[in-house]
């Protein structure tokens, strides 16, 4: 009797079923949160890479308008490029902390992501102001350049610039083909895309005459076409900033949730082992 009682008292007791259920629940919920956090970080990385590529292309486009006029906007694009690279690095850090179950790395990730969110908000405001300012400056510059009376080599250079603009943006004149009549010049050849791209002078002239007779030249003015493009770029950057803000906010909440669940899982595990 005594030996049986002693043997029973020395055997380790099984942990309570409620504690085991709590541990299993924490483990399952932590795994779900980790998968979701990694998925959100992957989306943030893809979003940052797309923004990086957009900013690089936009920088090249803005240089065509002159670095003097677009200087502030170019700086904004460079800042966007740096912020995109930082977001990629921070997202990778978050994935590493999630995979390694490192509470310290997750807290560091949340801190860096919070700083990055605040930085992105300031960048979005700065880029928006600079881009709207560029629209006004560019509109004034286009008007002055189109209606100014150039001669000699300067006129050839100006005409080449406008030919490139009209072919690139499929536009004609400042606000339309009628602007050429206002400055006493025939409609530019580059307003007729097929004629401008013709290989021989004879074919070019025939297509140009046909273009004028059928009024098949570009209808939109270059001012509206260029400003619409700049507005679309500004809207894209603002949209990306808002989208990034929500994704990054969700990532921060998930990271805090995972870190807290890991801490709770450790406490529950210690409590289970104790029993």
Segment 59-95, tens digit of pLDDT: 776 666 555 555 556 777 788 888 889 999 999 999 9
Q: What is the pLDDT of residue 13?
A: 47
The DSSP secondary structure of 149-193, one letter per residue, reads: ---HHHHHHHHHHHHHHHHHHT--TTTSTHHHHHTT-PPPGGGSH
Phi, psi dihedral angles at 175 (to 5 degrees) = -120, 10
Q: Are 85 and 53 in contact (CB under 8 A)?
A: no
CB atoms within 10 A of CB 96: 14
Which residues make Cβ contacts (< 8 Å) with residue 53, sequence separation at least 6? none
Residue 64, SS3?
coil
Q: Are 213 and 205 in contact (CB under 8 A)?
A: no
Interval 92-127: pLDDT, tens: 999 998 888 888 999 999 999 999 988 888 887 887
In a domain, 186, yes or no: no
In a domain, 164, yes or no: no
Q: What is the pLDDT of residue 107?
A: 92
**What's the burial of 232, exposed, middle or buried (CB within 10 Å: 0-12/13-18/19+)?**
exposed
262 vs 217, more confident: 217
In a domain, 158, yes or no: no
Q: What is the pLDDT of residue 9?
A: 41
Q: What is the pLDDT of residue 1?
A: 42
In a domain, 185, yes or no: no
In a domain, 174, yes or no: no
- pTM for the complete prediction? 0.67
Q: What is the pLDDT of residue 89?
A: 93
Give the H or E element holding residue 25.
Answer: helix 17-63
Q: Are 81 and 55 in contact (CB under 8 A)?
A: yes
- The arithmetic mean of pLDDT across residues 24-35, rounded, is 74
Which residue segment(s) compose the domain that 256 sits in? 18-150+231-274
Binned at pLDDT 50, 70 and 90, residue 135 comes out as: confident
Q: Which residue has the tokens 């339309």?
A: 176
Q: What is the pLDDT of residue 63?
A: 64
CB atoms within 10 A of CB 4: 8
Question: Between the CA of residue 159 and those of 27, 46, 65, 70, 248, what are the distances in Å?
Answer: 70, 41, 15, 21, 48
What percentage of residues in the chain have a pLDDT greater than 70? Answer: 81
Report the helix count and the strand count for the chain, using DSSP H and E.
Answer: 9, 0
**Is the per-residue pLDDT at 208 higher than 80?**
yes
Report the chain's mean pLDDT, rounded to a whole number.
Answer: 79
In a domain, 214, yes or no: no
**Is the per-residue pLDDT at 133 higher than 50?**
yes
d(CA 76, CA 115): 18
**Is the per-residue pLDDT at 179 higher than 60?**
yes
d(CA 212, CA 151): 25
Q: What is the pLDDT of residue 93?
A: 92
**Is the per-residue pLDDT at 39 higher than 60?**
yes
**Is the per-residue pLDDT at 10 higher than 80?**
no
In a domain, 26, yes or no: yes
**Is the per-residue pLDDT at 11 higher than 50?**
no
Please tell me the total count of domains within the chain: 1
Q: Which two tokens stand for residue 186?
A: 């025939």
141 vs 171, more confident: 171
Q: What is the pLDDT of residue 269?
A: 47
The CA radius of gyration of the chain, in Å to the nearest whole number, is: 32
In a domain, 175, yes or no: no
């Amino acid at each position: 009797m005594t030996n049986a009682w002693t043997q029973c008292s020395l055997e380790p007791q099984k942990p309570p079923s409620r504690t085991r259920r709590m541990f299993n629940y924490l483990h399952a919920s932590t795994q779900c949160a980790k998968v979701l956090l990694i998925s959100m970080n992957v989306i943030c990385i893809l979003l940052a890479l797309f923004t990086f590529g957009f900013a690089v292309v936009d920088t090249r486009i803005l240089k065509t308008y002159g670095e003097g006029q677009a200087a502030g906007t170019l700086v904004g694009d460079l800042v966007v490029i740096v912020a995109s690279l930082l977001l990629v690095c921070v997202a990778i850090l978050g994935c590493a902390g999630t995979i390694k179950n490192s509470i310290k790395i997750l807290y560091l990730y949340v801190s860096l992501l919070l700083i990055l969110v605040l930085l992105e908000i300031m960048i979005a405001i700065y880029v928006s102001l600079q881009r709207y300012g560029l629209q006004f400056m560019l509109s004034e510059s286009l008007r002055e350049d189109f209606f100014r009376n150039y001669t000699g080599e300067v006129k050839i250079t100006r005409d080449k610039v406008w030919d490139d603009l009209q072919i690139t943006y499929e536009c004609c004149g400042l606000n339309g083909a009628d602007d050429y009549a206002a400055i006493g010049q025939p409609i530019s050849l580059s307003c007729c895309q097929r004629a401008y791209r013709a290989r021989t002078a004879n074919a070019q002239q025939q297509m140009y005459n046909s273009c004028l007779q059928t009024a098949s030249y570009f209808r939109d003015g270059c001012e509206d076409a260029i400003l619409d493009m700049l507005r679309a770029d500004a809207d894209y950057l603002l949209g990306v900033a808002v989208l990034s803000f929500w994704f990054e906010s969700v990532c921060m909440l998930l990271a805090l949730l995972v870190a807290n669940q890991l801490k709770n899982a450790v406490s529950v595990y210690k409590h289970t082992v104790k029993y």
